[in-house]
A and B are shown apart, each in its own frame.
Chain A
Amino acid sequence: MGKRHSNVESLMKSVSQDPKVQVQVKEELKKRQLANFLVFLRCDHKLTQKELANRMKCTQSKISKLEMAYDDQISIKDLLEYGRALNLQLELGYRNKNVKITELINYHVYRIREYLSRLIFMGKGDNVMMKGVLKVVESTLGKFIDIVSENLKIIKDIDKKSIRESKDEIHISSPLREKKELIGV
């Protein structure tokens, strides 16, 4: 068979003979990040456009338009309604583009410490709850050890391209899964 590519950008460089076309495909994709994320959410919830439209009490055509829209055409109201229909809470935030990955790791470590402290505070004076809190603290430690040792193993062969931080205008994080789906993560 023919050439292999790890992404569409590389494919375009190979198949297209017009540099303008290559640039335009890249730009178009960049403009549709949010809409594409909405498609991902719906499909991940195993819903068709029609089923989602029923939940949102709108037409399938509206969902279709939303999923083809450019990022700057999607309103907060659209995101709220879409999320509500999928039982997801919308979270908004800004991030300084110059923030480094190492700083993000530190930020999340401190957030975990903060959440654990809150749990411990809630369990104070309640032996049953405190036992549960202890389990959570121990399991958190276990997960940290797993993550660190896993990364130490792969650190030598890691493909540097794949860990490059995105500098896109919009950073989209995947939704927080339910407890059962978090096991083993």
Chain B
Amino acid sequence: MLEWNIEETDKFTRTFRKYEKKHGETAIATMTNFGSYMQLLSKGLNPLQISTSYVHDEKKGLIAVDQKKQKRKLRETRLYFYPDMDKKTVYLLIIGDKNSQQTDIKFCREQIKMLRSDYGKTA
């Protein structure tokens, strides 16, 4: 069994708490999908292998899970994260809706750049 860790960033925690208050059911569905993704990683799949309806490859290492839930039409949501295969760590970056999608992706890309450069320094 491969041991993956999850690391929450401050921005993620803040945006999740807001989301949870405003859109509770959507937050639950999105987090459940993220939990399912983590189960797939812990079963030994690597992030590049995982493709299913609720997983979106946003390119350059950025992955998102959405809120999809059977028979429920919920607010379009994306929870963005960066799975670092070397460190076996999933960095939770931000959660947002369709309206903030572009800025969220831009923010995530910058975060990934920083994470990668930090790793370059310490590796």
37-55 of chain B: CB within 8 A of chain A: 38-40, 43-45, 49-54
Query: What's the nearest-Cβ distance from chain B to residue A136, in Å?
Result: 27
147-185 of chain A: CB within 8 A of chain B: 162, 174
1-37 of chain B: CB within 8 A of chain A: 1, 3, 5-10, 12-13, 16-17, 20-21, 24, 27-29, 31-32, 34-36
Q: 22 A-B pairs, CB-CB below 8 angstroms? A: A2-B7, A3-B7, A3-B8, A4-B7, A8-B35, A8-B38, A11-B92, A14-B13, A16-B16, A17-B20, A21-B20, A21-B27, A25-B32, A28-B28, A29-B32, A36-B40, A43-B40, A49-B51, A68-B54, A68-B69, A68-B70, A162-B1
Candidate in B5, B16, B39, B52 with the most chain A CB atoms within 10 angstroms: B52
Interface size on A, residues (CB 8 A): 38
Q: Which residues of B contact A3 (CB under 8 A)?
A: 7-8
Supposing A8-B31, A32-B32, A39-B52 touch, asked if A15 and B45 sit within 8 A by C-beta, the answer is no
Q: Which residues of A contact B16 (CB under 8 A)?
A: 15-16
- Among B24, B39, B40, B50, the residue within 8 A (CB) of A18 is B24
With the chains together, A11 CA to B6 CA distance in Å? 8
Candidate in B5, B21, B43, B69 with the most chain A CB atoms within 10 angstroms: B43
- A91 interfacial contact with B, CB 8 Å: no
Query: What's the nearest-Cβ distance from chain B to residue A14, in Å?
Result: 6
With the chains together, A16 CA to B6 CA distance in Å? 15
Interface size on B, residues (CB 8 A): 42
Query: What's the nearest-Cβ distance from chain B to residue A180, in Å?
Result: 17
* CB-based contact A39/B36 at 8 Å: yes
Determine the residue in chain B with the shortest Cβ distance to A73. B70
**7 smallest A-B Cβ distances: which pairs?**
A28-B32, A8-B35, A2-B8, A64-B53, A5-B6, A29-B35, A68-B70
- B80 interfacial contact with A, CB 8 Å: no
Q: Which residues of A contact B35 (CB under 8 A)?
A: 8, 25, 28-29
